[in-house]
Structure 1
């Protein structure tokens, strides 16, 4: 077992290891996927999320063991980088990797604080009458702009991966989750607009995002709108085409 613990939780190492040992028998299930499982449990006096990554196949096991950081380690490292750059994400608690005698990766775990959020971007997309919808979208655009300014290209910037907390007085906090796919680079305007494509924004929402981002980046609103609309449309067409091909193969 290889374990890295955030300094804030160093004195709780035994309890963290116990959470991992009892992962399959205790805790409340949040997500049960084909490869990953997420549960919530209690560490000391606070709730934490525990993400379990299944043992990879032999090829990926070699890659993750010797050439590339594991998903659990990337989640931990990226969370720290985000927080250092004032981009909110649940505070990382620890990551644990189980390896065999040859150093090959088996199962791994990422543990972070539980965020009691109010909703995600998905609710805004599906409900045009969502309270303060346009205002929230503008604040989300500013959040994403700050992320881009910190040279963060979040490759899984999709509707379910931003948790939103209503602070009251028309102010909202945004927290990124599912962090293991990121690039750290200078982003052109095209890349910045491309980063919104997985949000499945409506034409009206695209207008709001483009207008706000244009103000923040000192760019032409028309230019922002044209690029964002094209990036979003391309992604939707590509996704629809994939679904069509899969349906034809199944039939």
Structure 2
């Protein structure tokens, strides 16, 4: 197995400890969030906490793609984090990444960053409307998104769980996570508004975001709302259609699981 390890220059003094934490990843028990595909664990190095994200080994075809033609998710996360920080856009500080390959196939990859102890994520805004500063946070988040767009950052996974929120005196800090899908460059109006499509199904939240985005951009508020609402509905339609198709294709897996669970043995 061939390993490629990159450590940020600010963490050269911790190189051995960081790489040791990656090697011993399976031994750590504190898991952050729901581990459906990729697993994120919290580790302590010299009394400070970090996260290590272990990416799932891709399917056979993508093992070839990532081995020869495309950068790994861990490498992209590391590079994009550094780009964001240069643009004064917050993300947990990128400490390191490591990839493991054979001569012909890509296998494991890991991304290490500082742990941010956030107060909430955008997701809580979509489920708890009793948060006292709910609208203030939502408007600040919209201004943050406008800042992304002005800096040419198209965060393709701009979804509820991928923005961490910290309350600060006099305002809020927002941190982007799950960075491996991004595009950089000038964004036209429709692309900017479409970037809100995955965030919420609630019309009231879209009304607030479109109002605030209009204030930031100088664009017509009704035009923004109509397009934002349209893209939101389209995304929801495609999302649930995809789920229904998957259920039809993989229904046999559920049948097999049920037969196993019903077996008397």
What TM-score do the two structures reach when normalised by structure 2?
Answer: 0.88
1:88 paired residue number? 90
CA–CA distance in structure 2, aligned partners of residues 204 and 144 of structure 1 = 18
CA distance in 2: counterparts of 1:183 and 1:38, whole angstroms: 24
Deviations 1:115-134 (A, max 9, x none): 00011111111122221111
**Contact 1:72-1:95 within 8 A present in 2 as well:** yes
Q: Which residue of 1 aligns with 2:203?
A: 203
Aligned to 2:120: 119
Residues 1:15 and 2:17 aligned together: yes
Gaps of 5+ in 1: none
Indicate the residue corresponding to 2:230 in structure 1.
Answer: 230
User: What does residue range 1-251 of structure 1 map to in structure 2 within 5 Å?
Assistant: 1-31=3-33, 33-100=35-102, 102=103, 104-169=105-170, 171-246=171-246, 250=251
When residues 167 and 51 of structure 1 are mapped into structure 2, their CA distance, relative to the original with a 3 A threshold, is same
Partner-residue secondary structure (3-state), 1:28: coil
1:66-119 CA-to-partner distances (Å, cap 9, x unmatched) read 21110110000010011111110000000011122x263221110000000011
Which of the two has higher C-alpha Rg? 2
The 8 Å contact of residues 200 and 206 in structure 2, kept in 1 or not, is answered as: no
Three-state SS of the structure 2 residue aligned to 1:29 is coil
Give the whole-Å Cα distance in 2 for the aligned partners of 1:165 and 1:147. 18
**How much does 1:238 deviate?**
2.3
Q: Aligned equivalents of 1:226 and 1:121: distance in 2?
A: 22
Distance, in Å, in 2 between the alignment partners of 1:200 and 1:64 is 32
Secondary structure of 2:168's match? Answer: strand
CA RMSD in angstroms comes to 1.8
Shift of 1:245: 4.5
Aligned partner of residue 144 in structure 2, secondary structure: helix
- Residue 261 of structure 2 is matched in structure 1 by none
Return the TM-score normalized by structure 1: 0.93
Classify 1:7/1:103 alpha carbon distance in 2 versus 1 (closer, same or farther; 3 Å). farther
Q: Which whole-Å CA distance do the structure 1 matches of 2:140 and 2:201 have between them?
A: 15
> Given that residues 200 and 236 in structure 1 are in contact (C-alpha distance below 8 angstroms), is that contact kept between their aligned partners in structure 2?
no
CA contact (8 A) 2:206 2:229 kept: yes
Secondary structure of 1:39 counterpart? strand
- Give CA deviations for 1:29-82 in whole Å, capped at 9, x if unaligned: 124535311100012231000001233233212211221110110000010011
SS in structure 1 of the partner of residue 228 of structure 2: helix
